[in-house]
Chain A
Amino acid sequence: RKEVEQDPGPFNVPEGATVAFNCTYSNSASQSFFWYRQDCRKEPKLLMSVYSSGNEDGRFTAQLNRASQYISLLIRDSKLSDSATYLCVASGNTPLVFGKGTRLSVIA
Chain B
Amino acid sequence: QKEVEQNSGPLSVPEGAIASLNCTYSDRGSQSFFWYRQYSGKSPELIMSIYSNGDKEDGRFTAQLNKASQYVSLLIRDSQPSDSATYLCAVNGVTGGGNKLTFGTGTQLKVEL
Tell me if chain B binds chain A.
no
Residues of A within 8 A of B (CB): none
Residues of B within 8 A of A (CB): none
